[in-house]
C-alpha cells in the first residue's frame, strides 16, 4: 500500500509536491521490487513499469481532486442557493428604473439593503413561493460542480508544474512554492474554467433574475423558464456568441483568485506549522477559506456586478463590453453602484467558501483512502 500525505487543495506546494513525489517514488520502488532479479530485465520490468506506476499515481491524484471538486461544488450550491439568488438580483437591479424591478416590484424583490436580507427573502416567498428562493438551482448544480471539478485538478497540476519551473529556473527551492507560483496557478486555472463554464454561469444568472423581467412579457408568459427554454432564448438573441457574455468581466476579475489562493495557502501553511501533527484541522480550514475569500471579495467585488449586468443583458446584439458596462454603472448610480449586493455577498462568502473548501478537503481524503 502506498503511503500518502492527504493535504492537497491549498495545502501548500511543498506538502503537495512532497506527497506526490513520495507517492511516485513508492510506486517506482514497488515496480522495481517486482522486477525479476539476476536474469536481466523481464517483459514487465524496468523503467517503463516504474513510469507507468508513477503515471497511475498522478491519475489517481487528478481523479481524486476532480471528485472532491464536483462534490464540494454541489454541496455549496444547495446550501447557499437563497443567498446566491439575493446577491445576483441585487447586483442587476440597479439597471432597472432606479434599482427596482419593472412594473413596480410585483415580484416581491424590491427590498433594499436597509430592509435586510430576511425581508428580501420574505418578499420572494410571498411573490414566488418557497421554490422562488431556489430559482436557478438546477442550473447551479450543473454549473458550480463543473467549475470546481475543473478548477481544482487544474490548479493542483499547474501548481506542481509552476513550482518545478520556479525551482529549476532560480536554482533555489522554495518552502511553499511562493506567492507567485500560487498566483500564477490560480489565475491560469481560473481563466480556463471561466472560458469553459461561462455559458453555464450565464444560464444560471438568467434564471435567477428572470422574475425581475416579468413586466416585459405578456401575462401568459410570466412563468419560470427551465434550463432548455433559457438556453433557447439566449441562443435566439445572438447565436453561440451570446453564451459568452460577461466573460471579459470574469477574466478581468481573475485578480480575485490571484488574491484568494495565495492567502489561503499562507494561512494553511501557518496552521500546519502550529500543528503538532503537521496537518490542518477543520477549524484551520474554516478560518483559512473564509478569511481568504472575504479578503479577495473586498478588493475585487466590482467585477462581479459588471459580470452579472453583462450576463443579464437581454436583447439581440453583442451587448456592451466590460468597460462600457462599468462606465454606465458609474454614470447612472455612482461608484456605489459597483458595490450593489456586497453585504449579501460577504454573508454568502463565508458559508459558501467554507463548505466548498472544507468539503473538498474531506472528500479528497475520503476518496484517497478508498483508493488505498
- Which residues contact residue 228 at a Cβ distance below 8 angstroms, ignoring those fewer than 6 apart? none
Using alpha carbons only, give the angle 215, 97, 248 rounded to the nearest 5 degrees. 95
- Which residues contact residue 149 at a Cβ distance below 8 angstroms, ignoring those fewer than 6 apart? 66, 67, 69, 70, 73
Map out the domains of the chain as residue ranges.
57-371
- At residue 278, the pLDDT reads 78
Q: Mean pLDDT of residues grouped by 10 in the chain (372 residues)?
A: 36 41 46 48 52 61 73 82 88 64 40 62 86 87 87 88 76 64 90 94 91 71 82 91 92 89 88 83 83 88 92 74 90 91 82 78 75 62
Is the domain 57-371 a CATH 3.30.2130.10 member?
no
- At residue 17, the pLDDT reads 43
Among the listed residues 258, 97, 267, the one whose alpha carbon sits nearest the alpha carbon of residue 188: 258
Cα torsion at 209, 215, 219, 221 (round to 10°)? -30
d(CA 299, CA 307): 16
- At residue 105, the pLDDT reads 41
- At residue 28, the pLDDT reads 46
- At residue 174, the pLDDT reads 60
d(CA 281, CA 269): 12
- At residue 61, the pLDDT reads 65
- At residue 307, the pLDDT reads 93
Amino acid at each position: 500500500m502506498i503511503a500518502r500525505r492527504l493535504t492537497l487543495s491549498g495545502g501548500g506546494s511543498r506538502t503537495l509536491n512532497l506527497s506526490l513525489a513520495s507517492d511516485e517514488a513508492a510506486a517506482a520502488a514497488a515496480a522495481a521490487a517486482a522486477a525479476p532479479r539476476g536474469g536481466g530485465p523481464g517483459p514487465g520490468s524496468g523503467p517503463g513499469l516504474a513510469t507507468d506506476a508513477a503515471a497511475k499515481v498522478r491519475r489517481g491524484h487528478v481523479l481524486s481532486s476532480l471528485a472532491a471538486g464536483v462534490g464540494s461544488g454541489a454541496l455549496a450550491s444547495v446550501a447557499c442557493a437563497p443567498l446566491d439568488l439575493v446577491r445576483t438580483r441585487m447586483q442587476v437591479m440597479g439597471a432597472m428604473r432606479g434599482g427596482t424591478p419593472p412594473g413596480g416590484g410585483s415580484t416581491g424583490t424590491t427590498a433594499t439593503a436597509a430592509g435586510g436580507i430576511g425581508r428580501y427573502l420574505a418578499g420572494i416567498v410571498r411573490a414566488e413561493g418557497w421554490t422562488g428562493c431556489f430559482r436557478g438551482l438546477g442550473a447551479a448544480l450543473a454549473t458550480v460542480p463543473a467549475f470546481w471539478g475543473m478548477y481544482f485538478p487544474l490548479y493542483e497540476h499547474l501548481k506542481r508544474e509552476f513550482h518545478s519551473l520556479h525551482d529549476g529556473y532560480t536554482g533555489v527551492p522554495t518552502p511553499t512554492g511562493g506567492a507567485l507560483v500560487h498566483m500564477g496557478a490560480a489565475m491560469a486555472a481560473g481563466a480556463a474554467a471561466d472560458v469553459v463554464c461561462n455559458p453555464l454561469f450565464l444560464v444560471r444568472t438568467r434564471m435567477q433574475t428572470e422574475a425581475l423581467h416579468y413586466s416585459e412579457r405578456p401575462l401568459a408568459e410570466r412563468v419560470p423558464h427551465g434550463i432548455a427554454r433559457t438556453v433557447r432564448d439566449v441562443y435566439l438573441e445572438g447565436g453561440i456568441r451570446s453564451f459568452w457574455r460577461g466573460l471579459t468581466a470574469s477574466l478581468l476579475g481573475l485578480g480575485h483568485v490571484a488574491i484568494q489562493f495565495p492567502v489561503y495557502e499562507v494561512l494553511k501553511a501557518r496552521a500546519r506549522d502550529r500543528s503538532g501533527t503537521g496537518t490542518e484541522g477543520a477549524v484551520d480550514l474554516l478560518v483559512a477559506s473564509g478569511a481568504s475569500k472575504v479578503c479577495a471579495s473586498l478588493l475585487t467585488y466590482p467585477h462581479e456586478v459588471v459580470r452579472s449586468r453583462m450576463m443579464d443583458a437581454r436583447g439581440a446584439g453583442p451587448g456592451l463590453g466590460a468597460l462600457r458596462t462599468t462606465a454606465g454603472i458609474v454614470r447612472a448610480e455612482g461608484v456605489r453602484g459597483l458595490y450593489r449586493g456586497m453585504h449579501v455577498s460577504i454573508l454568502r462568502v463565508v458559508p459558501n467558501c467554507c463548505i466548498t473548501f472544507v468539503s473538498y478537503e474531506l472528500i479528497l481524503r475520503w476518496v484517497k483512502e478508498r483508493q488505498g
